[in-house]
Amino acid sequence: MAKEIRTLGAIQVMIGLINFAIGYLWLRLFTRQYNSFTFNYTPVILFTGYPFWSFLFYVTSGVLAIAADRRHTPLLLGCTIRTNINSGSLSLVAQILIIVEIILVAARRVKIQWTHRSGMILSSYLWVFSWLEMTLAWSVARWGIEETEFSALNI
């Protein structure tokens, strides 16, 4: 299972970088097309800053997963478990926020402009990567819990 956890940690780091890049694109779209967003579309996920602070959580949880796989110290396993649980919970909250944002835009009876459609696509990408991060984070946390229990039994 060692190589799988390193791979999952590397994927978590990549998801963090992708979220940051999507957030940057979202921010550029919003600042350049501000007038079209003010009345009909409120980018909830961008206003919360999710793409930028999720980057920190996801990269940290991925790096800790890789480090915990290399060295099985109790402190490192505990930090890995906690950061991955936090990362998975953050992903779940983000998914709910993104779904609310998309429902709010779709519920309005106005013509959807290209900027709104582009924003919904970027939010949809964030939703997909949040879902992927949630499944990875909880898988790594489960692995960490199993390793902690296994090491406790072997002492």
pLDDT digits (tens, 9 = 90+) for 101-117: 888 877 776 676 777 77
Q: Is it the case that residue 2 has pLDDT exceeding 70?
A: no
Note the pLDDT of residue 95: 94
Span 33-40, mean pLDDT? 63
> Mean pLDDT score of the chain, rounded to an integer?
85
Q: How many CA atoms lie within 13 A of 37 on its CB side?
A: 21
Would you tell me how many other CB atoms lie within 10 Å of the CB of residue 134?
A: 19
Residue 68 clears pLDDT 60, i.e. is over it: yes
Q: Name the residue among 99, 145, 117 with its Cα closest to residue 5.
A: 145
Helices within the chain (DSSP H only): 2-32, 34-40, 44-47, 50-70, 74-107, 114-153
pLDDT at site 18: 95
152: amino acid identity, one letter: A
Mean pLDDT confidence for 59-79: 89
pLDDT tops 90 at residue 131: yes
Dist. CA 49–CA 31, nearest whole Å: 14
Task: Indicate if the pLDDT at residue 1 is higher than 60.
Answer: no
pLDDT score for 26: 84
d(CA 79, CA 75): 6
Give the lowest-confidence range in 9-13, 21-25, 35-39, 60-64: 35-39
pLDDT of 55 above 70: yes
Per the CB < 8 A criterion, the answer to whether 134 and 19 are in contact is no
Mean pLDDT, residues 72-82:
88
